[in-house]
């Protein structure tokens, strides 16, 4: 019983202290006075077409209320029906009357879709890609038709190399598409030729595409000097002297030795040259050489060459010398020491001065000796020999050997 009494006592004490704290807080907040709201206009909203206007009042404590309502204004619709959105082929158009204040719409009407607006669209062809020509609706892109414009596949000059003649050269241009059809000048492309085109040189032709095509291309052609003409060769034993006529449009000449390959051995502005040494070595006697001459014109882009002309030349043979001499039964056989040449000429005379001798030529590929028949026995004969080459249709002889005297 005493326990319960104590419990009750504690609860009461607790309630009293809680009340004291609360009173304290209220006392502090309102300084002990009762609160009087002071409402002031916080903000106001004007009436719109559809909403009432009002004012909001509030007190510093946070309390607030709406009041001072004004009626909604109602719409002011236009008299005339106007178009809000035009019809297209994709969407219906819309019209109606509208509120002049808030633009609210009323009496909405719809207009039917328009038909398509077909236009032609061209995607130009280039050298890399096909183009196309489409008929399509400009709004919804509905496709009516499509044709491919085949790409440009070849752009060529009818002639890329001319030989100088002192006249202006204008090669024509042929352009074909991927189907092999020729494109038309001035309609599909235009041409600009480099100026001049008369002297030796390299010239450009600019092709600019237009119409259904686009892109540019530069083509080149050249005018080369005329080939070397009338080459004459004068051989000696260890060198060759060459001369030739001036090539038109040229300012220099290159001379090559032709073996398996061409080897450049001379570069000259003259119309002649002496070919004495090749790689530091003299030319061999009685030997066939083929020289090639090209004329050229120097330009900023390098030399422009004529076509090649070759000339076969044989150097003169060395002085000959007699090897064996045999006299048997009225036959006198003379053998020359072998050397580089095309043949040997054997001379037999009964006098020392070789007036009116017997003179016989033998090709080197056949023999190095010759037999004079029916010589008179017991008589004194004089022999000499010389080697020869045939070059440019002419025979060139080496020096005679020393004279050999034979008694048969």
Residues that bind Zn ion (CB under 5 A): 37, 49, 59, 61, 63, 75, 89, 99, 101-102, 104, 116, 137, 139-140, 142
Burial class (CB in 10 A: 0-12, 13-18, 19+), 370: buried
How wide is the angle at C-alpha 34 spanned by C-alphas 33 and 37, nearest 5°?
125
- Cβ pair 385, 403 in contact under 8 A: no
Rounded to whole angstroms, the Cα distance separating 53 from 42 reads 14
Q: Which is nearer to Zn ion, 137 or 278 (CB)?
A: 137
Residue 123 CB, nearest approach to Zn ion (Å): 19
Of 104 and 202, nearer to Zn ion (C-beta) is 104
User: Cβ of residue 4: shortest distance to Zn ion, in angstroms?
Assistant: 46
- CA–CA distance, 80 with 217 (Å, rounded to integer): 63
CA-angle at 381, arms to 380 and 383, nearest 5°: 150
**Least Å from the CB of residue 58 to Zn ion:** 8
Identify which of residues 62 and 166 has a Cβ nearer to Zn ion in the complex: 62
Whole-number minimum distance, CB 8 to Zn ion, in Å? 41
Least distance between Zn ion and beta carbon 79 (Å): 14
Closest approach, Cβ 80 to Zn ion, in A, equals 16
Length of the chain: 408
In whole angstroms, give the CA distance from residue 369 to residue 192.
Answer: 72
Question: Contacts by 346-351 with C-beta closer than 8 Å and gap 24+?
Answer: 346/370, 346/372, 346/383, 346/385, 347/383, 347/384, 347/385, 347/386, 347/400, 348/372, 348/375, 348/381, 348/382, 348/383, 349/381, 349/382, 349/383, 350/379, 350/380, 350/381, 350/382, 351/382
Nearer to Zn ion, 21 or 61 (CB): 61
Q: Which is nearer to Zn ion, 55 or 287 (CB)?
A: 55
Nearer to Zn ion (CB atom), residue 137 or residue 325: 137
Question: How far is the first Cα of the chain from the last one, in angstroms, to the nearest whole number?
Answer: 189
CB of 63 to Zn ion, least distance (A): 5
Nearer to Zn ion, 52 or 142 (CB): 142
């Amino acid at each position: 019983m005493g326990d319960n009494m104590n419990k009750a006592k504690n609860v009461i004490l607790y309630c009293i202290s809680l009340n004291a704290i609360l009173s304290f807080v209220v006392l502090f907040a309102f300084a002990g006075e009762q609160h009087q709201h002071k409402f002031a206009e916080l903000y106001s909203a004007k009436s719109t077409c559809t909403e009432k206007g009002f004012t909001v009042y509030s007190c510093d404590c946070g309390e607030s209320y709406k009041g001072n309502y004004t009626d909604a204004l109602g719409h002011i619709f236009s008299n005339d029906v106007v178009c809000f959105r035009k019809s297209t082929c994709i969407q219906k158009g819309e019209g109606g009357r509208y509120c002049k204040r808030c633009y609210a719409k009323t009496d909405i009407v719809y207009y039917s879709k328009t038909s398509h607006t077909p236009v032609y669209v061209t995607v130009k062809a280039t050298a890399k890609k096909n183009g196309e020509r489409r008929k399509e609706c400009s709004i919804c892109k509905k496709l009516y038709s499509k044709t491919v414009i085949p790409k440009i596949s070849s752009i060529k000059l009818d002639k890329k190399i001319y030989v100088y003649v002192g006249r202006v050269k204008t090669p024509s241009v042929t352009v074909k598409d991927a189907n092999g059809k020729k494109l038309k000048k001035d309609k599909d492309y235009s041409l600009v030729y480099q100026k001049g085109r008369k002297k030796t040189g390299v010239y450009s032709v600019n092709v600019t595409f237009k119409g259904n095509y686009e892109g540019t291309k530069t083509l080149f052609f050249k005018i080369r000097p005329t080939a070397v003409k009338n080459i004459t060769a004068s051989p000696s034993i260890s060198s060759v002297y060459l001369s030739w006529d001036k090539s038109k449009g040229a300012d220099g000449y290159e001379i090559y030795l032709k073996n398996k390959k061409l080897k450049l051995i001379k570069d000259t502005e003259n119309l002649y040259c002496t070919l004495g040494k090749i790689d530091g070595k003299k030319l061999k006697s009685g030997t066939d050489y083929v020289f090639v001459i090209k004329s050229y014109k120097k330009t900023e882009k390098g030399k422009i060459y004529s076509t090649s002309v070759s000339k076969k030349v044989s150097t003169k043979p060395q002085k000959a010398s007699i090897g064996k001499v045999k006299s048997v039964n009225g036959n006198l056989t003379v053998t020359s020491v072998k050397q580089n040449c095309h043949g040997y000429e054997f001379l037999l005379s009964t006098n020392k001065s070789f007036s009116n001798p017997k003179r016989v030529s033998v090709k080197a590929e056949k023999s190095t000796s010759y037999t004079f028949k029916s010589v008179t026995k017991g008589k004194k004969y004089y022999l000499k020999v010389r080697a020869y080459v045939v070059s440019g249709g002419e025979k060139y002889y080496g020096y005679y050997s020393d004279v050999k005297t034979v008694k048969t």
